[in-house]
Amino acid sequence: MADARLLRLGSPRRARPRTLSRSEYPAAVAFCQAQGAQGVMAGHRISQAMSFPAAVGEVWALERPGARRLGQALRSEHLQTVIWAGGSVMPVGLAESAAVFAALALERGGRYTSLVGDAVAVADLWRGLETAWPAPRAYRANQPLLALTTPVPPASAGPVQTALRTATPDLLNLLEPACRAMFTEELGFPPPGPQAAYRAHVANQIERQALLAWIDPAGREVIFKAELGATCGPWVQVQGVWTNPAYRGQGIAKAGMIALINHASQRGLTHVCLYVNDFNLPALAVYRAVGFHQVGTWATIML
């Protein structure tokens, strides 16, 4: 009983990460939103879990020492670090505290496909897990986290603004191969698991109206596609950016990104972020030309 009381009080000596109850998820979402670009993806997943109780995953949290009084409801300002643990493990907050979650992760015993987030947090957490978890398929240790908080004027998108449109279910057969190509090109291996599972993922992105595509006038191929993949408050994290190889070197990616940013702004998503492999120099050049700047460094470990 004494240990539980000290945990609630946030004792510097006994504070330990714990699994949050569903009633505490709003505090975790507010915490993630306050972290800006760093918290978008985890905040999105936690929000989804609030809306769909059957969603697989849980939230781990570490409170700031002494931040909360006994009996007080959890608020975002009480939190120091939050981790979404679903298909992926996503740390948000004080990177140096991530290592203390390793024991909790091992105790919970979940099966995860990746660790993704701040590079220091991912590295510290991985050091506590690597002897117990499978060897990674890939470890991308240096992924610039980029953000754009000043919307691009709509006029600069030109005719691409109308060419890029929200994907509809009738485009699934056209978009699934493009999404697979993007995944394979980005990660170096095709989407894991059954083909039907990945097709269902693409269909879900279309259903959520998160997938935007620029299709050639004849309707036979995808020229450019990207996803408004995760949202948290006014923030959106863009994912799955891909330009058809036949159209590269023609300014397609820049035009497509500007149009995408304007689509996001029309939905009230005025703060845009994304992360990219450091060796993807063409993509980095496009994002910087559009106006993105680096606000952090992420890492991804694919298991």
The residue ranges of every structural domain in the chain are 2-133, 154-297
So what's the pLDDT on residue 96?
79
Is 94 in contact with 80 (CB distance < 8 Å)?
yes
- Residue 71 and residue 8: Cα distance in Å, rounded? 8
Residue 165 pLDDT exceeds 90? yes
State both tokens at 191.
């989407």
So what's the pLDDT on residue 160?
61
State the burial class of residue 56 (Cβ atoms within 10 Å of its Cβ: 0-12, 13-18, 19+): exposed
Q: What is the mean pLDDT of residues 78-89?
A: 96
Specify the higher pLDDT residue, 96 or 266.
Answer: 266
- Residue 113 and residue 265: Cα distance in Å, rounded? 31
So what's the pLDDT on residue 151?
61
Q: What is the mean pLDDT of residues 288-296?
A: 95
> Whole-prediction pTM value?
0.90
The secondary structure of residue 226, as a DSSP letter, is: E
Q: What is the mean pLDDT of residues 120-127?
A: 95
Beta strands in the chain (DSSP E): 18-19, 58-63, 79-85, 88-93, 114-118, 138-148, 164-166, 211-215, 222-232, 235-243, 271-275, 293-302
List the one residue out of 255, 267, 238, 241 whose CA is nearest residue 160.
255
Q: How confident is the model at residue 5 (pLDDT cuts 50, 70, 90)?
A: very low
Residue 177 pLDDT exceeds 70? yes
CA dihedral 205, 211, 217, 218 (to 10 degrees): -20
Q: How confident is the model at residue 41 (pLDDT cuts 50, 70, 90)?
A: very high
Query: How confident is the model over 230-283, as pLDDT tens digits?
Result: 999 999 999 999 999 999 999 999 999 999 999 999 999 999 999 999 999 999
Q: What is the mean pLDDT of residues 190-216?
A: 94
- The upper half-sphere exposure of residue 40, i.e. CA atoms within 13 Å in the direction of its Cβ, equals 25
Residue 8 pLDDT exceeds 60? no
List the one residue out of 223, 146, 220, 138 whose CA is nearest residue 184.
138
Phi first, then psi: what are they for 295, rounded to 5°? -120, 0
Q: How confident is the model at residue 157 (pLDDT cuts 50, 70, 90)?
A: low
Instruction: CATH number for 2-133: choose from 3.40.1710, 3.40.630, 3.30.1300, 1.20.140.
Output: 3.40.630
Q: What is the mean pLDDT of residues 7-25?
A: 72
So what's the pLDDT on residue 98?
82
The CATH fold of domain 154-297 = Aminopeptidase (3.40.630)
Is 235 in contact with 37 (CB distance < 8 Å)?
yes
What residue has token string 């409801």? 73
So what's the pLDDT on residue 12?
43
Residue 150 pLDDT exceeds 80? no
State the burial class of residue 11 (Cβ atoms within 10 Å of its Cβ: 0-12, 13-18, 19+): middle
So what's the pLDDT on residue 99?
85
Q: Give the percent of the chain with pLDDT over 90.
A: 78
So what's the pLDDT on residue 3?
41
pLDDT, mean over the chain: 90
